[in-house]
Amino acid sequence: MKKLIGNGLLTIGLIGGAISAARIPPMWGGVIGSLAVMGVGIFLRRQGEKEELHKAKQSGTGGKEELERILKTALNDLESLVEARDSLDIKTLRARLDKILEELEKFPEKAQPLRIEGMRAYGEIMTAFSSAERRLNRAWSAYADGYKGEGDTYLELGLESLKNTLKVLHALKL
């Protein structure tokens, strides 16, 4: 609710400030008042966002445990795909990799509660994850273009990066 009210105050302050500043000569009282309203809006919005992150962490819809579950599931699926890749055609490889990537799409959202612990922890895990995601997307793209060898290379690199993401997650002191 605080976030919604904060967004409303930001909008009101922005519109009021624009109208006050557009007048000739500017209505400085209106501009200053609008800036104050925007400041309160920013404060409420940030408070509301923090509350949402705390709720997500407490309800178990995010945080370290949820991220670990997503990573372990993806790693198991990816390892089985790497083992079976020689016996699968490119279309099947791409389809199975697509399912893994769809599951990994939840990761950034579930990582949001880590911001409570600090931006450093969030940054470390997201940096490691983005490398893995980028490599797996390159593998998917190579398979889609018919380059099985390149796809296999990036599939292995993506697997290693995903393992590294799990190590980074375990190394975080949360």
What pLDDT score was predicted for residue 78? 93
**Measured CA distances, 29 to 9, 20, 32, 172 (Å):** 17, 8, 5, 49
Contact 110, 66 (CB under 8 A): yes
DSSP string over the chain: -HHHHHHHHHHHHHHHHHHHHHSSS--HHHHHHHHHHHHHHHHHHHHHHHHHHHHHHHHTSSSHHHHHHHHHHHHHHHHHHHHHGGGS-HHHHHHHHHHHHHHHTTHHHHHGGGGGT-HHHHHHHHHHHHHHHHHHHHHHHHHHTT-HHHHHHHHHHHHHHHHHHHHHHHHS--
CATH code for the part of the protein at 60-171:
1.20.120.660
| Extents of the domains making up the chain | 1-56, 60-171
The per-residue pLDDT for 53 is: 66
Alpha-carbon span 92 to 148, nearest angstrom: 12
Residue 59 backbone dihedrals phi, psi, to 5 degrees: -80, -10
User: What is the structure's pLDDT at 161?
Assistant: 94
Catalogue the E-assigned strands of the chain. none
Determine the pLDDT at residue 62. 60
Whole-number pLDDT of residue 173:
72
* Phi/psi at 16 (5° precision): -60, -40
Chain Cα centroid distance, residue 89: 32
* Nearest by Cα to 98 from 148, 162, 141: 141
Residue 139: predicted pLDDT: 94
> Residue 113's pLDDT is what?
78
Residues (pLDDT < 70) of the chain are 53-54, 56-62, 174
Report pLDDT for 45: 86
